[in-house]
C-alpha cells in the first residue's frame, strides 16, 4: 500500500538510499533535512555541506525537500543533559537521547505537519509489525545494527517509522547508490557526536565545562599522579593517564576503575581484566519499555555499548527502574551508559545505568552517587 513518507535526508548515503528505495516502491516521498547545530567556530560542523548534498540527492531522485532547524530543541533536550552528565562524572551517550528527543520526537511531529503518514530514516534496524504492535529489531547486518541507539524511541513513534535499510548490508547500500548515480555514493560515514560533527572532543568539552584537576590513586589510596579533570576519563580507559614507568609497580598498563566524585580522585588499577573493572550486576533508572508488560523477573540479554556482544541477564523491576543480574561479568560498565535489553533480535527497551556491582572479591563501590 502506498504511503506518504517523509524521509529524514541527512546528506549521507544511508538516508539517500532509504529515499531511493521508497520512491522505487511507489510511495509518495518528500525529504526533510534537519540542521540542529548552528555553531561552527572551528569548521568541524558539516551542516552546510550536508544541506548541499541533501539537495543534490533530492534532485537526483526527483523528490521535494524541506529544511528545518531543531537547534533549540537539541540544545535544551539533548546537549544540556549531555553537559550535566559529564559534569556529574557520568559517561553519557547523546545519540540515544537525540533519537528520542529530536529525530523521533521533534522531527516526527514536523513530519505530521507536512502531511506525512510516516517518517523514514537511514538507520540500520528493522520494524516488524504483528499482534497489534511494532517491534524494534536488529538489522540483518549485525556489524551496522543501530537498534542500540533506538532503545528509547517511544512505541508510538516506532509505529509511524520506516527503516528501509534494515535488510541490507552497507556494501549493498553503497552499490545501490552508485548504480543509481547518487552523488553521495562514496561519501565517508560520519563518526562524530550526533549533529555536532567530528572534532577534538577534549577541546570541545572544556569550552563548556571547567576542568578540575585532582589526584590519581590506587584503590588503597597510594597517589600515582594527577588527572586534568574527571570528565576526561571513563571506566576501563587506558590512554591518557600519563602514569607509566612507576618504580614501585610492574610495567602492566593502568586502567580507570572508578571516579570518586566526593574527593575528585581518579582510581586506577593494573591489568586489563582486573576484578575492579568487571561488573556482575548494575542498577538502572526508569526503563523505556517497548514490549508488552514484562514479568516481575525477566530473562533477557543486555548490551551496554554499541557493537558490544549482548550478555544474558535477569531483570528484576524496582519502583524506579531495574536491577540487572548478569550471567557473565561485563568489563568497563560505567554509570551514565545506556543499557539496551533484547529478546533474540527484538530490542525490548533500555535505561540509563546508575550504579554497578563488582564481581565477587572486588569491593570498590562503583556507584555514581
Domain ranges of the chain: 4-201, 218-270, 277-358
Q: Could you give the count of Cα atoms lying within 13 Å of 292 in the half-sphere of its Cβ?
A: 5
Please give the pLDDT value at position 366: 47
Same fold, 4-201 and 277-358: no
Please state which of the ranges 33-42, 267-276, 315-324, 332-341 shows the lowest mean pLDDT: 33-42
In which band, very low, low, confident or very high, does the pLDDT at 368 lie, cut at 50, 70 and 90? very low
Give the active site residues: 98, 194
Span 227-241, pLDDT tens digits: 999 999 999 999 889
Cβ 163 vs Cβ 185: under 8 Å? no
pLDDT at residue 197, as a whole number:
61
Please say if the pLDDT value at position 369 is more than 50.
no
Spatial separation of the C-alpha atoms in residues 257 and 237, rounded to whole Å: 8
Domain 4-201 has CATH 1.10.3720.10: no
**% of the chain beyond a pLDDT of 90:** 79
For residues 9-18, average pLDDT: 96
pLDDT exceeds cutoff 60 at 346: yes
User: Which residues lie closer than 8 Å to 7 by C-beta, 6 or more apart?
Assistant: 15, 18, 19, 22, 29, 30, 31, 32, 63, 119, 120, 121
pLDDT at residue 335 above 70?
yes
Residue 255: CB atoms within 10 Å: 22
Q: Give CA–CA dist 197/122, Å, rounded.
A: 18
The domain made up of 218-270 is a member of CATH 2.30.30: yes
How high does pLDDT run on average in the chain? 91
State residue 185's pLDDT score.
94
* Segment 15-29, tens digit of pLDDT: 999 999 999 999 999
pLDDT at 33 over 70: yes
Nearest to 43 by CA among 172, 196, 165: 196
- Phi, psi angles (nearest 5°) of residue 280: -100, -15
Mean pLDDT of the 144-172 span = 97
Average pLDDT, stretch 347-360? 91
CA distance 16 to 13: 5
**What 3-state class would DSSP assign to 116?**
coil
> What architecture (CATH level 2) is domain 277-358?
Beta Barrel (2.40)
Cross-strand pairs, 240: none
pLDDT band at 184 (very low <50, low <70, confident <90, very high): very high
- Give the residue with greater pLDDT, 247 vs 34: 34
Among 133, 334, 304, residue whose Cα is nearest residue 231: 334
Residue 19: C-alpha distances to residues 79, 186, 194, 195, 241 (Å)? 28, 17, 21, 20, 45
- pLDDT tens for residues 202-229? 888 888 999 999 999 999 999 999 999 9
Read off the C-alpha cell for 250: 610492574
- 3-class DSSP assignment, residue 180: coil
The whole-number average pLDDT for the span 105-134 is 95
Cβ–Cβ < 8 Å for 304, 338: yes
**How much is the average pLDDT of 284-303?**
94
- In this prediction, residue 155 carries a pLDDT of 93
Q: What is the separation of C-alpha 315 from the centre of its chain, rounded to a whole number of angstroms?
A: 21
**Which pLDDT belongs to residue 42?**
52
pLDDT, residue 202, reads 82
Amino acid at each position: 500500500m502506498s504511503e506518504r513518507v517523509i524521509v529524514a535526508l541527512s546528506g549521507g548515503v544511508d538516508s539517500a538510499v532509504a529515499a531511493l528505495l521508497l520512491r522505487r516502491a511507489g510511495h509518495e516521498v518528500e525529504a526533510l533535512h534537519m540542521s540542529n547545530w548552528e555553531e561552527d567556530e572551528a569548521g568541524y560542523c558539516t551542516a552546510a555541506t550536508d544541506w548541499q548534498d541533501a539537495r543534490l540527492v533530492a534532485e537526483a531522485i526527483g523528490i521535494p525537500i524541506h529544511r528545518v532547524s531543531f537547534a533549540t530543541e537539541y540544545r535544551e533536550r539533548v546537549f544540556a543533559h549531555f553537559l550535566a552528565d559529564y559534569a556529574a562524572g557520568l559517561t553519557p551517550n547523546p545519540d540515544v537521547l537525540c533519537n528520542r528527543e529530536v529525530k523521533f520526537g521533534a522531527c516526527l511531529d514536523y513530519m505530521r505537519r507536512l502531511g506525512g503518514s510516516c517518517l523514514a530514516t537511514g538507520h540500520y534496524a528493522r520494524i516488524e509489525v504483528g499482534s497489534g504492535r511494532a517491534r524494534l529489531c536488529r538489522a540483518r547486518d549485525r556489524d551496522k545494527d543501530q537498534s542500540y541507539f533506538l532503545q528509547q524511541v517511544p512505541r508510538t513513534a516506532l509505529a509511524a517509522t520506516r527503516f528501509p535499510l534494515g535488510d541490507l548490508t552497507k556494501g549493498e547500500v553503497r552499490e545501490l547508490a552508485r548504480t543509481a548515480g547518487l552523488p553521495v555514493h562514496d561519501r565517508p560515514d560520519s563518526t562524530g557526536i550526533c549533529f555536532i560533527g567530528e572534532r577534538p572532543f577534549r577541546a570541545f568539552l572544556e569550552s563548556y565545562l571547567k576542568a578540575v584537576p585532582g589526584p590519581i590513586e590506587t584503590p588503597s589510596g597510594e597517589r600515582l599522579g594527577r588527572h586534568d579533570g574527571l570528565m576526561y576519563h571513563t571506566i576501563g580507559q587506558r590512554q591518557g593517564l600519563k602514569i607509566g614507568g612507576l618504580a614501585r609497580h610492574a610495567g602492566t598498563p593502568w586502567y580507570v576503575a572508578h571516579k570518586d566524585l566526593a574527593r575528585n580522585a581518579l582510581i586506577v588499577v593494573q591489568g586489563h581484566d582486573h576484578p575492579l573493572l568487571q561488573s556482575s550486576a548494575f542498577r538502572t533508572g526508569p526503563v523505556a519499555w517497548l514490549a508488552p508488560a514484562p514479568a516481575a523477573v525477566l530473562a533477557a540479554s543486555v548490551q551496554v555499548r554499541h557493537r558490544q556482544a549482548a550478555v544474558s541477564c535477569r531483570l528484576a523491576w524496582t519502583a524506579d527502574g531495574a536491577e540487572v543480574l548478569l550471567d557473565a561479568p561485563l568489563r568497563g560498565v560505567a554509570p551514565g551508559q545506556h543499557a539496551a535489553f533484547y529478546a533474540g533480535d527484538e530490542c525490548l527497551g533500555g535505561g540509563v545505568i546508575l550504579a554497578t556491582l563488582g564481581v565477587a572479591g572486588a569491593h570498590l563501590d562503583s556507584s555514581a552517587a
